Structure 1
Amino acid sequence: MYRLIATDLDGTLLDPDRNISKANAESIKKAMSRGMHFVIATGRPIEGILHIAGQLDLVRPGQYAIGFNGAVVYELNPLRQICSCSITGAQVKEMAVMAEKLKVNYHAFSTTRGLLASKPNQWTDVEMTLNKIGCTWIDFSTIPDDEEFQKFMFCGSAEEVQGIMDDVAVYRNDFTVTRSAFCFLEVLNKQANKGNGLKLLCETIGIDKSETVSFGDELNDISMIEYAGLGVAMANAVPEVKKAADLITESNTEDGLAKVLDRIIAVQS
């Protein structure tokens, strides 16, 4: 019996235009009407989660979300953090120096100040547009060492991000390093990943991992694909996600999430 469904957004629940299809929306509402929790698990901040959750009528008591790739777990109504983990301003400043050395753009999410960037650039514009948020432009050398951050992001074209993977690998021993989109390479607290966020949520609300299903398509989804009782990769997923999954469904343009969810609902009805 599955009681909790967790899904990534871009490339999984959302179509290429970042819309929710009618089939996906209807299947999610059916699942919720049968008492299932539906959890958005994403790299986005809460602002980028709430406008999607609102479309699905998820902003209600007993519904949850995983943000910042597992750095924060939220209850949606009343809106509150269930758990969180962060990196320090001192660490962010060091990463900014690395980004400057590598000649790529960067930005970071402060727990108190929101999105911060050193200068306007097209990739921070993507972040702002995607999540419907603003940005504060600052000199990163002025960040207090003890300021808390959810994550730091190296940004660039697909080729630029691929080109810095080996350089940024030096952070893997002490941090979670994950590629969340073609233009973003993220560095987070070592404990921050979608799988751990899902685990903490399940422990908090009393759901066994065997009762969970997760859907994803990108590298940052692998940990929750592996944690869930049933891990589902989209047909459009990267090879590493497909390898980790128990099942591969149709793509995000073919209502792959709805097709699996409908089968689960039919079996459990």
Structure 2
Amino acid sequence: MEDYKLIALDLDGTLTNSQKKISPATREVLLHAQHAGIRIALVSGRPTAGVLPLARELELDQSDGYIISFNGGKIVSCKTGETLYERYLPKELLPRLCGLNKKHPLAVIIYSSDTIITETADNNYVRGDAFINHMPVEEVPNILPRIDFHVNKFLFPGDPAYIEKLLPSLRREFPTCSIYCSEPYYLEVMPNNVDKAQALAVLLGRLGLTRSALIAFGDGFNDQSMVRFAGMGVAMGNAQQVVKNDADFVTRTNDEDGVAYAVQKLVLPGVETHA
């Protein structure tokens, strides 16, 4: 049995169930893991503020846990609040990126430290993002003049079929950016070479650990990199097929305590819990 020291968990569709909640059984198993000296990193496309409530629920501040937000663009220590690593988009690209929603039928979202900023607060995707992240929405007529902070990512929600067709041309237009879909309806623009695996490699280096000590859980397209990278890559039962294809182990779904089941089976054998 491999001696795992770091558990990396995607949130939506992985750690949380369909109600966006951590089940009691999953929470219990993850607290057991932390009491056994295993660190947890919550690895999400969400902004840091949108991950904090779940980090508090899992008591990551007491167990030296980490938040990796913006799909790998930022690493924060839950114990100290210190930013350990951060990547953001070049200032010279911001005017062109701010104009994409005017050229295409897309909404646009950026994040300050505690607010979702958009030009269309009544957009269904924007409202959904605010609900998931528990963050207030600030509507502005034009995003560009509002930017007085480093932008970790742009989120362009829209019709999945349109986004799928648009993706190749945007990658050609912005070759210095990492552009992909975290969900079919979420087009994300990040600094180049930013993904969940890259950030986990940075964190492992800081902790003096190797990939073999990492077990990573995911379900979506943006989880592929870390599922491939980890010593043990775990796909949820509800994961995209490409994630399952890359995984070393496929667990139960997020509504069947899939994280708890796999952690108990692969990380904490012999530990009695109610999962």
When the two structures are superposed, what TM-score results if normalisation uses the length of structure 2?
Answer: 0.90
- Give the residue type in structure 2 aligned to 1:165: L
Alignment partner for residue 34 of structure 2, among 32, 35, 46?
A: 32
RMSD of aligned alpha carbons = 2.0
The residue aligned with 2:138 is 136
| Counterpart code for 1:140 | I
* Deviation readout 1:193-227 (Å, 9 max, x if unpaired): 11111111111111111100000000111111111
Deviations 1:82-119 (A, max 9, x none): 01000034323212322221121111224x68432123
The farther-off stretch of 243-252 and 167-176 is: 167-176
Displacement of 1:61 = 5.4
CA contact (8 A) 1:43 1:69 kept: yes
1:23/1:88 CA distance change after superposition, 3 Å: same
Secondary structure of the 2:223 match is helix
* Larger fraction in strand: 1
Check 1:242–1:172 CA distance in 2 against 1; reply closer, same or farther (3 A cut): farther
1:141/1:58 CA distance change after superposition, 3 Å: closer
Query: What is the distance in 1 between the residues matched to 2:81 and 2:251?
Result: 32
Aligned to 1:244: 246
- What does residue 120 of structure 2 align with? 119
Give the conservation status (yes or no) of the 8 Å contact 2:171–2:177: no
Equivalent residue, structure 2, for 1:66: 68
Q: Decide whether the 8 Å contact of 2:236 with 2:254 is kept in 1.
A: yes
User: Residues of 1 paired with 2:66 and 2:120: CA distance?
Assistant: 34
| 2:82 corresponds to | 80
Cα deviation per residue 1:124-159 (whole Å; 9 max; x = unaligned)?
Answer: 211211111123323134356x85201011112334
Structure 2 partner of 1:156: 158
Could you tell me the TM-score, scaled by structure 1's length?
A: 0.91
1:237 is displaced (CA, Å) by 0.8
2:145 counterpart letter in structure 1: T
> Which residue identity lines up with residue 249 of structure 1 in the other structure?
T
- Could you tell me which residue of structure 2 aligns to residue 176 of structure 1? 178
SS at match of 2:188: strand
The runs of 4+ residues in structure 1 deviating greater than 6 Å are none
SS of the residue 2:267 aligns to: helix
Task: Give the one of 52, 55, 58 matched to 1:56.
Answer: 58
The AA in structure 1 aligned to 2:33 is A
1:190 matched residue in structure 2: 192
Contact 1:2 1:210 in 2 (8 A): yes
Moved more, 96-105 or 14-23: 96-105
CA distance in 1, matches of 2:133, 2:205: 29
Structure 2: distance between partners of 1:266 and 1:42 = 24
Matches within 5 A, 1:249-264: 249-264=251-266
Letter in 1 for 2:5: R
Give ranges in structure 2 of 5+ residues lacking alignment. Answer: none
Q: Distance in 2 between matches of 1:245 and 1:265?
A: 16
Offset at 1:268?
Answer: 7.9
Residues 70 and 171 (structure 1 numbering): CA distance in 2 closer, same or farther, change over 3 Å? farther
Does 1:7 find its partner at 2:9?
yes
Match for 2:119: what amino acid? S
Evaluate the alpha carbon distance shift between residue 116 and residue 148 of structure 1 in structure 2; reply closer, same or farther with a 3 A threshold.
same
* Further displaced range: 163-172 or 54-63: 163-172
Write the letter of the residue equivalent to 1:186.
Answer: E
* 1:94 partnered with 2:74: no
Q: Distance in 2 between matches of 1:96 and 1:33?
A: 45
Contact 2:17 2:255 in 1 (8 A): yes
